[in-house]
Structure 1
Amino acid sequence: MIYTFLYSLLLIFSLPFIYIYFKRKGYDFGLKERFTLYKDYMDSSIWFHCASVGELKAAYPVIKYFSQKENVIITIFSPRAKDFASSVFQNEKVRFLPFDLPIFINRFIKMYNPKILIITEKEVWINLVKISSKKFPVVSINSKISKNLPVLNNFSLFLTNSEENAEKIKRYIKDKEKVVVCGDLKFLGENRKDIKFDKNGKKIIIGASTHNPEEKILIDTFLELKKDIENIALIIAPRHLERLNEIENLLKEKNIDYSLRTKTDKMEKDVMILDTIGELSGFYQYADVVFVGGTFANIGGHNILEPILENKPVIIGNYYYKVEDLYNQLKDYGIISSVKNKEELKEKIIEYLNNNQSSELLSFKDLQQKIFKCYINNIQNLIKGD
């Protein structure tokens, strides 16, 4: 009651400012849906709640699996996520999450008759969980709960992405058996942007999201490799395009013939600079080895998952604290390695180019299947009441 009262007060005072803020950004805040001021009906449904675009992407394979068998209703919180969900989920109904007050939650449940509520990652609304849990199971998937809330005991199951997050949740709830480690749903994602590109028979190294001095390290390593590997080529994708001139000067100093992605869709020169925005994920399909930047430079690492989802071997430096959890989960599958210097980088590239990675890549596909089945089977068992 205290929470509901305080939430109501906060809503009254903040709503005009929130509405104006999103209106100026060009987004529809969806007040009609948040107040459930509309009529709709489903015989029964599987209810997914994803707060953001990232959570929608994580839950995508699970949502698509159940939408082939059941009516699916997806609620989201942010206007940007609503636009994204409406474009991606054509056969599923997408609504804004009602404001977290009993009258709106109950009205929503009456319209869509959910048999289960599946909440992605760390979104916990107190009335949403308490009211729903009295009527049907509430499940957290890819769980990343980091706050101790009494309402966590109302969840029927936590399907977590890692042992670390599982241990955190177990400290917060009474029934430890509710926590199951399935693995990270992001391992199942597909983020590729389809692009037109001709490898021209080259073995391609991609330096992805690079910083100073990583381009120089890559260029020097490439020149060493080229002495023994004639058909090798390098693509440099700098993290910040304003450094383009700096990278071009490095190549000119070494008398290296290079091209810009904006000028060609074929690997004709020794080096190409990816001087476009949003194409990097599409280039991974053409790589033979990928170095992910921000790891020789003390940045902490960038997205290592995108090239791995393309089954490409990945190399990083020794500054990877921002992606350490992912690295630790993946390193035993033989498709990612950390190196300390230029010499180790060269050795690891040669190893990846020469070795047949098929067994390791198959092992990673087995991991993906295991993760997917863990989520699906546990959710299905709850729906059946097992």
Structure 2
Amino acid sequence: MRFLYTLVVYLVTPLFLLRLFARGVRFRDYRKRWRERFGFFTPPGFSGSLWVHAVSVGEVNAAEPLIKALQRDYPNAPMVVTTVTPTGSERVRQLFGDSVFHVYLPYDLPFAVRRFLRLVRPRLAVIVETEIWLNLYFACRKRGIPLMIVNARLSERSLRGYKPMGKLVARALGCVRQIAAQSRTDAARYRVLGASAEKIVVTGNLKFDMPVPYDAELKGEELRRQWGPLRPVWIAGSTHEGEELPVLEAHLEVLKRWPDALLLIAPRHPERFKLVENSARSLGFTVGTRSGDRVPSAVHKVFVIDAMGELMPFYAASDLAFVGGSLVPIGGHNVLEPAALSTPVLVGPHTFNFEEITLTLIQEGGAVRVHTAEELAPVVSQLLRDQPMCEHMGAAARIVFDSERGAVQRVMGMIDALLQE
């Protein structure tokens, strides 16, 4: 089975490269550093590193408080952070600069994995969320590298996807020393996948421990002063294809009730920035952009946040926030960012990536679910009309966020124990 898996990885690698090239037509960073995908990079010249893998932006953001805790508690250990996407790479650069060594994680080809491990020489491997790469896991066990999965989550869809390779995945999970699960549901699914129960600990979600920028609320207040403190403003964050048009159409309906209303929209992927701007203009909106105008003016009806890592002040400045990836079956994105800033949350029907957090927010009154794109405009209008309800939802969301913190401390205890061994 492992031989067949490896053979398939070799056979599909040309397709991976074609996909990189195709995405690179619109977003050229995908064409860069392709040698790293095969484990070729300049050796950093250290050993005994602490290695954290976070596939993309969301996982990097989740890992931020853990990486900073590792840097604080193990200041003499080199820190390695790998990602898979250019946007994840850029986020690592923004958050950590030169304080970490960053490369792309290579494809799960035996020779590439061996070269990568030989060059970074980790004393600990930490995988964030759900990245089960079979050859990588077996290689870590062979080299005696303790392997952890932290902030571990496993959706029902992912569980079904792994099941055809059930025995092989179970063997790979046997290489893992500890699994720090986000929730009891995630822990149960890992057990179904073949992980032994004694290795699994429910530690909570690292994203509750994310640092809230100390100046986010101050910047939000400044933004509101610039566009008018009484102006109705809502934000659609981390949107995907299939969501931007319904969001823009919903804003057309909102403008019928509030002609001065402002929509802030932040596409998830940089290659969609210009597409969303053009779509908004084609619908007749006066459009501003972060790159061109810096902040919205009174004439702008739609403002495209075409920059990475700048959502928090805009969440703080908004009356309510729709979190994208949830109107389409992506699984939703981080509902905790607006919750941390006491901003009411709206989500669509597809939130399996943040299943328990979203349900808790809804149950505690900090979030509302819309089941179709057609429901978005009336729900946004209702909340903008009811300021006391918005304030109540925002306060409830912040209480949920504050009450769930502490996962980093629990995970660090597990890491300390492994390293002391």
Query: Which segments of 5 or more consecutive residues in structure 2 lack a partner in the other structure?
Result: 237-243, 268-275
- Structure 1 residue 139 and structure 2 residue 148: aligned? yes
Q: TM-score, normalised by structure 1?
A: 0.72
Matches within 5 A, 1:1-386: 2=3, 6=7, 10=11, 25=28, 27-31=31-35, 34-35=38-39, 39-68=43-72, 69=74, 70-78=77-85, 81-82=88-89, 84-86=91-93, 88-89=95-96, 90-98=98-106, 100=108, 105-106=113-114, 108-134=116-142, 135-145=144-154, 146=158, 147=162, 148=166, 149=169, 150-189=171-210, 197-199=223-225, 200-202=228-230, 204-206=232-234, 208=236, 211=247, 214-215=250-251, 217-219=253-255, 222=258, 234-237=261-264, 240-241=276-277, 242-244=279-281, 246=283, 261=288, 265=295, 273-278=301-306, 281=311, 282-290=313-321, 305=335, 306-315=337-346, 319-322=348-351, 325=355, 326-338=357-369, 342=378, 346=382, 349-353=386-390, 355=392, 358=395, 361-367=398-404, 369-385=405-421
In structure 1, what is the Cα distance between the partners aligned to 2:132 and 2:325?
33
Give aligned pairs, total.
Answer: 359
Question: The residue matched to 1:64 in structure 2 has which SS?
Answer: helix
Amino acid at match of 1:327: T
What is the CA distance between 1:284 and its match in structure 2?
A: 1.9
Report deviation, 1:354. Answer: 5.6
For 2:402, the aligned partner's letter is K
Cα 1:247–1:355 shift into 2, 3 Å = farther
Q: Distance in 1 between matches of 2:134 and 2:382?
A: 53
Which structure would you say has the larger Rg?
1
Change (3 A) 1:93 1:351: same
In structure 2, the partner of 1:253 is none
Task: Using the TM superposition, give the Cα deviation of residue 151 of structure 1 relative to its aligned residue in structure 2, in angstroms.
Answer: 0.9
d(CA) in 1 for partners of 2:211, 2:359: 21
Aligned-partner SS, 2:103: strand
Change (3 A) 1:335 1:17: closer
Alpha-carbon deviation of 1:23? 8.1
Does the CA contact (< 8 Å) of 1:333 and 1:364 recur in 2? Answer: no
Structure 1, residues 257-314: CA drift from partner, whole Å, max 9, x if none? xx76467957758xx512434278342221233456898xx76797562422433122
CA contact (8 A) 2:325 2:350 kept: no
Encode CA deviations 1:86-131: one digit per residue, 9 max, x unaligned.
5543211123335545565455445444221111222222232122
Q: Deviations over 1:16-65 (max 9, x none)?
A: 86897788746334437834575443242211123334433332221222
CA distance in 2, matches of 1:6, 1:156: 27
Determine if contact 1:204/1:286 at 8 Å carries over to the other structure. no
Does the C-alpha gap of structure 1 residues 8 and 174 become closer, same or farther in structure 2, counting only changes over 3 Å? closer
CA distance, structure 2, for counterparts of residue 75 and residue 9 of structure 1: 21
Cα RMSD for the two superposed structures: 4.4
Shift of 1:81: 4.3
If asked which structure has higher relative contact order (CA below 8 Å, sep 6+), I would say: 2
* DSSP-derived class of the 2:131 partner: coil
* Structure 1 unmatched ranges of 5 or more: 224-232, 249-258
Task: Give aligned-pair identity as a percent.
Answer: 19
- Give the 3 Å change call, closer, same or farther, for CA 91–170 of structure 1 in structure 2: same
Matched residue type, 2:149: S
Residue identity opposite 2:124 in structure 1: I
